[in-house]
Structure 1
Amino acid sequence: MKSLILLFLLYASLSFSQTIDYNTKKGFAIEGYDVVAYFNNQAVEGNKNFVSQFDGVKYKFVSKENLNSFNKNPEKYLPQYGGYCAYAIGAKADKVSINPETFEIKDGKLYLFYNAWGTNTLELWRKENPKELKEKADKNWEQLKFKK
């Protein structure tokens, strides 16, 4: 009986565990752009023939090589802040969609930004003290990452 109760408690805790809220516009992370390609300084949409899944999120890739690279070490390629705009997370503690072609690789991490209607938040990020904004974004993300 004791083992049955422990099993139930384990199942209950797994059932109610929270998952990170990823920006999955169009059904894929980063609107289907290839997360591995960003690390070669390329913002390019992936191909539906090269798809993988990690942490409940689907990713598309431009090639089998990029797909394999991701599958070997997915954490290396994951966008920061669930793929939401890094500037908005840092400056306003708000989840904002991104323009997948507006990005920065810094210290081996992928940061994405909103860029539309004359507002390029990557430019604002660089101009307004990126170190401070990143620190704020890291802190804010801890509060935001489980909120849908």
Structure 2
Amino acid sequence: MKPTLTILVLIISSTFFAQNYNLKKGFVASGYDVVAYFKQKAIKGNANYTTSFDGVYFKFSSKENLEIFKQNPKKYVPAYGGYCAYAIGAKGEKVAINPKTFEIRDGKLYLFYNSWGTNTLTLWNNEGAEDLKKKADENWQKIIEN
């Protein structure tokens, strides 16, 4: 394959994958360490510890967390591409998140919008997280198929 064609294929494929991820600041989870969430901590990643997976980039707060991610990346990728879980469930819409507002449920990371007096993690729990999760799973499937 010619170099120009190879580059074009890479750009198209990375754009395809990236459209299903919330890449604020160029990184999944706004550059927060997705492994640290599983230790119940919202920690900004460090530019010295980055990697790519599924055509998108992740930052980590330590070399240890980077290595943990590399061993099983699918475990740490946030649900719904890192978009607000509540908005995906309630409305089927991609909405930005506040990376400090999160939940680990059944071994999966969920991120939420939290600004201007609206904390969707609170709404998620008050309105029935399990039902919203089921709706979000269905809505996300429709989103990624389009």
TM-score (ref. length: structure 1): 0.86
Work out whether residues 33 and 43 of structure 1, in 8 Å CA contact, stay in contact via their aligned partners in 2. yes
Rg comparison, structure with higher value: 1
Work out whether residues 82 and 145 of structure 1, in 8 Å CA contact, stay in contact via their aligned partners in 2. no
Instruction: Quote the residue 1:96 is aligned against.
Output: 95
Work out whether residues 81 and 145 of structure 1, in 8 Å CA contact, stay in contact via their aligned partners in 2. no
How many residues matched?
134
Query: Cα offset for 1:146?
Result: 5.1
**CA-based RMSD:** 1.8
Query: Cα offset for 1:143?
Result: 0.9
- Give runs of ≥4 in structure 1 deviating > 4 Å: none
C-alpha distance in structure 2 between counterparts of 1:85 and 1:146, whole Å: 18
Amino acid at match of 1:64: K
C-alpha distance in structure 1 between counterparts of 2:20 and 2:27, whole Å: 13
- Residue aligned with 2:57, SS: strand
1:1-148 matches, cutoff 5 A: 19=17, 21-145=20-144
TM-score (ref. length: structure 2): 0.87
C-alpha distance in structure 2 between counterparts of 1:24 and 1:42, whole Å: 20
Unaligned runs of at least 5 residues, structure 1:
1-11
Identical counterparts, % of pairs: 61
Query: Cα offset for 1:53?
Result: 0.4
